[in-house]
Amino acid sequence: MARTKTIACLALVAVLGGCSSGARQAIHVGSKNFTEQVVLGEIIAQHLENRLHRKVERSLNLGGTLLTHRALSSGQIDLYPEYTGTALTAILKQPIGKDPAGVLARIRSLYSRDLQVEWLDPLGIDNGFAMVVRGPEARRRNLETLSDAARASSPWMLGVGYEFEQRPDGMTALDKSYGLPWKGPPMSMDLGLLYKAIEQGQVTMIAANATDGLLSAMDLKVLRDDRQAFPPYQVCIAVRQDALAAIPGLREALAELSGKFSNVGMRKLNHRVDAGHHPVAKVASEFLAEAGLVR
């Protein structure tokens, strides 16, 4: 009888140990394939490791919007940082909205209902499309807004990333709002090549992003979107509901990152990686320390 009880106890310990091991599942963090996304993904991953003391699997640099979203919706990753304007138009196929709070509320409702994904509070970044020209040209032509550029006497040579030309909140929205004069079709290229193209005069305007690090390092002018062609692009963490339910403390740990970023701060982080060639892991760990998130 004693032996039977011992075996039963050992079996129970094994079962409980297996349950505990299962409960300590790894957290899978993803990101898209450009500097800001990789930096944010690494910051999130390190923060979760620090707070939850769990294994975090990184699937950074996955690809474009649709590939990364597919990884989330299929369960290959548990979470990744996403932009409200991108989610609204490219993923949900909804009309462009102008009000940041209204756009986020609509996304939260549709993602929760249809995708079982929650959007947490914004990180503090609004990384919209930024139409950029060379500083000397902007000063010579007295250009401040996209409406000014639309009235320019000579046409623009435009450089864009691959997604901008296809997305309804990109080239379509720009043309509809401003009707800028173009010198031929846009030149599509990797995002990392846009700044070299405008510096070398291959193009005279680029569709960049508001938090690109090189905007603070080069003599460039961001033209104000005075007709609000582009929707808001607040950055939030999109996370699967089943992960939030299965991993204790995940929601609370992620919530600590909300409001800890700014466009100016994100430009500096991006610049340290792109121009300073600092390792992403080092940039992420230093950010967490400076933000007071390392205990």
CA distances from 289 to 94, 185, 200 (A): 39, 45, 38
Is the C-alpha dihedral spanning 53, 54, 57, 61 positive or negative?
Answer: negative
Where do the structural domains in the chain lie, given as residue ranges?
A: 26-126+234-290, 129-223
Q: Report the CATH superfamily, name and number, of domain 129-223.
A: Osmoprotection protein (prox); domain 2 (3.40.190.120)
Q: How many helices and strands in the chain, by DSSP H and E?
A: 14, 10
CATH 3.40.190.10 fits 26-126+234-290, yes or no: yes
- pTM for this entry: 0.80
**Nearby residues of 280 by Cβ (< 8 Å), 6 or more positions away:** 38, 39, 42, 273
Helix boundaries (H) for the chain = 2-23, 35-52, 65-73, 84-86, 100-110, 135-141, 146-150, 162-166, 173-178, 194-199, 241-246, 250-255, 263-274, 280-290
pLDDT score, position 236: 98
pLDDT of residue 162: 86
How high is the pLDDT of residue 8? 39
Q: Which two tokens stand for residue 106?
A: 């609509």
Tell me how crowded residue 30 is: count the other CB atoms within 10 A of its CB. 28
Q: Which residue's structure tokens are 């474009």? A: 64
Nearest to 38 by CA among 291, 286, 283, 210: 283
The answer to whether the 26-126+234-290 and 129-223 domains have the same CATH topology is yes
- With contact defined as beta carbons under 8 Å apart, do 98 and 225 qualify? no
Residue 238, strand partner residues: 80, 119
3-class secondary structure, 21: helix
pLDDT, position 122 = 98
Give the pLDDT of the chain (295 residues) as one tens digit per residue.
444 443 333 333 333 333 333 446 899 999 999 899 999 999 999 999 999 999 999 999 999 999 999 999 999 999 999 999 999 998 999 998 889 999 999 999 999 999 999 999 999 999 999 999 999 999 999 999 999 999 988 999 999 998 898 888 899 999 999 999 999 999 999 887 999 999 999 999 999 999 999 888 899 999 999 999 998 999 999 999 999 999 999 999 999 999 999 999 999 999 999 889 999 999 999 999 999 999 7
pLDDT at residue number 10: 38
Say how far apart CA 181 and CA 157 lie, in whole Å: 9
* CB 288 within 8 Å of CB 47: yes
- 8 Å CB contact between 89 and 96: yes
CA 267/CA 261 separation, integer angstroms = 10
